[in-house]
């Protein structure tokens, strides 16, 4: 009789756990500003010869960000401004203060579309729940964004896998794996904590007062990798 | 004025707690030279409280006594607002002293770090963690 009660309690807890669904990621969050991916990695990026040549010839005046162009799906999370997660049963939407834009991550079971052309810049993102973790797969980013402000670039083969895991009410661990066989010999993974922010999103128009572009260094990269942020 | 200065002082406290205004718009080293710090003093002629960067313009007298208008780039207004700054925290006509870093292109442009307000308070108003110096 006692063992039956224990079993019933266990089944009820298991059912409640399953019924509870995925964790609620809603809220306003911000990562520590990460303008140079080599800093959290503590080592240089694993360039292919082609990738090394691209980095060596970076011209900072060409930074898409300085033209107020979309900055890419990971770099916008690495930015020093907050973003809001809006979670629905079929999609998770990231509303970004920086550049006042958004990313939509479909969680309804669909795959990537055959034609990725319409999804350049932030790519096409689909997500699924792996236990308590939202796993997001992004392709179709194109080759015009940069991975960071230091000038690490990517090709049109960039593929991102992000993992959002809520570790407590005020923290999500964000892990992103960058895979780009044309630019980097092997995938590399960066993990940053997203901290809940007690703030509302504000308006941000990059074009409103853009005055930096004319002053930016328009020569090829002269600093060693890791020196520029 | 008193309320504004309390706000600025609050920003200072925030700074000491490590909560700094930031910008992602461009690389510090791609525009400014951290080996060329400068201290500029002058009267505020214009304030642009817009993204992606706040600009404060001041007239600074050169060696010949001629006024040169400097464009001083600060952090984004969103970050400065969250630290307690408001668009009228520094007003036209205020005499301020700014520690900054010169633009590499030798224009009269510099990246603000600290602003010393007329009553002597020093407030960070730059773009922290941008690769440039903290002060």
CATH of the domain at A193: 2.40.128.20
Region of B3 please: left (phi>0), alpha (psi -120 to 50) or beta.
Answer: alpha
Q: At residue B134, does pLDDT exceed 80?
A: no
Q: Which residues contact A36 (CB under 8 A, 6 or more apart)?
A: A148, A149, A150, A152, A226, A228, A229, B131
Q: Say whether B53 and A212 touch across the interface (CB within 8 A).
A: yes
Residue A210 with chain B: CB contacts under 8 Å:
25, 52
Q: Say whether B76 and A81 touch across the interface (CB within 8 A).
A: yes
Is B34 among the domain residues?
yes
The residue in chain B having the minimum alpha-carbon distance to the alpha carbon of residue A226 is B131
Q: Which of A80, A98, A150 sits opposite B27 (nearest CB)?
A: A150
Q: Which of B22, B29, B81 sits opposite A223 (nearest CB)?
A: B29
- Distance, in Å, from the CA atom of B40 to the CA atom of B38, rounded to the nearest integer, reads 6
Residue A65 with chain B: CB contacts under 8 Å:
24-26
Q: Say whether A223 and B103 touch across the interface (CB within 8 A).
A: no
Number of domains in chain A: 1
Q: Which residues contact A192 (CB under 8 A, 6 or more apart)?
A: A31, A32, A34, A40, A77, A78, A173, A174
Is B107 among the domain residues?
yes
**Sign of the torsion formed by the C-alpha atoms of B14, B18, B23 and B27:** positive
As a whole number, mean pLDDT of residues A196-220 equals: 86
Number of domains in chain B: 1
Is B36 among the domain residues?
yes
Is B57 among the domain residues?
yes
Domain of B61? 2-124
pLDDT at site A13 = 55
Is A157 among the domain residues?
yes
- Distance, in Å, from the CA atom of B27 to the CA atom of B43, rounded to the nearest integer, reads 28
Q: At residue A131, does pLDDT exceed 60?
A: yes
Helix (H, G, I), strand (E, B) or coil at A12: helix
pLDDT at site B120 = 84
Is B135 among the domain residues?
no
Alpha carbon of B65: minimum distance to chain A alpha carbons (Å): 27
Paired strand residues for A153: A146
Task: Name which of A55, A149, A206, A219 to mutate to probe chain B: the one with the most chain B Cβ atoms within 10 A of its Cβ.
Answer: A149
- Distance, in Å, from the CA atom of B53 to the CA atom of B46, rounded to the nearest integer, reads 14
Pairing of strands A188-196, B109-116: unpaired
pLDDT at site A212 = 79
Is A33 among the domain residues?
yes
The verdict on A151 touching B (C-beta cutoff 8 Å) is yes
As a whole number, mean pLDDT of residues A42-63 equals: 93
Is A228 among the domain residues?
no
pLDDT at site B7 = 39
* Banded pLDDT at A226 (limits 50, 70, 90): very low
Residue A35 with chain B: CB contacts under 8 Å:
24, 27, 129-131
Q: Say whether B30 and A227 touch across the interface (CB within 8 A).
A: no
Is A41 among the domain residues?
yes
Is B129 among the domain residues?
no
Q: Which residue has the higher pLDDT, A216 or A178?
A: A178
Q: At residue A100, does pLDDT exceed 70?
A: yes
| ipTM, two decimals | 0.80
Is B118 among the domain residues?
yes
State pLDDT tens for residues B3-42.
Answer: 443 334 333 333 333 333 345 677 787 888 889 999 999 9
Phi, psi dihedral angles at A13 (to 5 degrees): -65, -45
Domain of A28? 24-215
Q: Say whether B53 and A150 touch across the interface (CB within 8 A).
A: no
Q: Report which of A228, A213, A219, A215 is spatially closest to residue A67, judged by C-alpha positions.
A: A213
Q: Which residue has the higher pLDDT, A134 or B34?
A: A134
Q: Which range is least confidently modeled, A4-18, A101-115, A120-134, A176-190?
A: A4-18
Alpha carbon of A39: minimum distance to chain B alpha carbons (Å): 11
Q: At residue A225, does pLDDT exceed 60?
A: no
Task: Name which of A33, A64, A78, A80 to mutate to probe chain B: the one with the most chain B Cβ atoms within 10 A of its Cβ.
Answer: A80
Residue A69 with chain B: CB contacts under 8 Å:
none
Alpha carbon of B80: minimum distance to chain A alpha carbons (Å): 11
**Peptide bond preceding B52 in cis form (omega within 30 of 0):** yes
Helix (H, G, I), strand (E, B) or coil at B40: strand
Is B49 among the domain residues?
yes
pLDDT at site B13 = 33
Q: Report which of A120, A86, A81 is spatially closest to residue A99, judged by C-alpha positions.
A: A81
Paired strand residues for B128: B22
CB A154 within 8 A of CB A147: yes
CATH of the domain at B112: 2.40.50.140
Phi, psi dihedral angles at A208 (to 5 degrees): -55, -40
Is A18 among the domain residues?
no
State pLDDT tens for residues B57-87.
Answer: 999 998 899 999 999 999 899 999 988 888 8
Q: At residue A72, does pLDDT exceed 90?
A: yes
């Amino acid at each position: 009789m006692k063992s039956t009660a224990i079993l019933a309690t266990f089944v009820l807890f298991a059912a409640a756990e399953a019924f509870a669904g995925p964790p609620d990621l809603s809220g306003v969050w911000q990562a520590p500003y990460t303008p140079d991916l080599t800093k959290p990695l503590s080592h240089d990026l694993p360039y292919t010869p082609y990738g090394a040549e691209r980095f060596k010839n970076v011209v900072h005046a060409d930074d898409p960000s300085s033209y107020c162009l979309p900055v890419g799906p990971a770099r916008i999370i690495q930015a020093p401004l907050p973003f809001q997660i809006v979670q629905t049963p079929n999609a998770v939407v990231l509303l970004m203060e920086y550049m006042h834009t958004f990313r939509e991550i479909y969680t309804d079971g669909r795959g990537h579309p055959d034609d990725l052309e319409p999804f350049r810049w932030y790519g096409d993102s689909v997500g699924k729940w792996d236990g308590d973790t939202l796993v997001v797969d992004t392709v179709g980013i194109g080759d015009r964004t940069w991975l960071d402000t230091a000038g690490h670039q990517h090709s049109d083969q960039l593929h991102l896998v992000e993992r959002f895991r809520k570790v407590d009410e005020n923290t999500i661990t964000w892990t992103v794996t960058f895979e780009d066989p044309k630019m980097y010999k092997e995938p590399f993974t960066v993990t940053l904590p997203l901290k809940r922010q007690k703030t509302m999103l504000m308006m941000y128009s990059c074009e409103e007062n853009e005055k930096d572009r004319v002053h930016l260094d328009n020569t090829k990269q002269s600093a060693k990798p890791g020196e520029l942020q | 004025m008193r309320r504004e200065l309390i706000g600025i002082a609050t920003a200072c406290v925030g700074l000491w707690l490590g909560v700094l205004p930031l910008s992602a718009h461009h690389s510090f080293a791609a525009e400014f030279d951290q080996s060329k710090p400068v201290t500029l003093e002058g009267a505020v002629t214009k304030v642009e409280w817009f993204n992606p960067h706040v600009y404060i313009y001041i007239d600074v007298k050169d060696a010949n006594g001629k006024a040169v208008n400097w464009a001083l780039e600060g952090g984004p207004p969103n970050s400065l607002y969250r630290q307690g700054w408001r668009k009228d925290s520094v007003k036209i006509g205020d005499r301020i002293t700014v520690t900054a870093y010169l633009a590499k292109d030798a224009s009269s442009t510099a990246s603000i770090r600290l602003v010393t307000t007329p009553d002597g308070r020093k407030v960070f108003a730059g773009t922290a963690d941008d690769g440039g110096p903290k002060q």
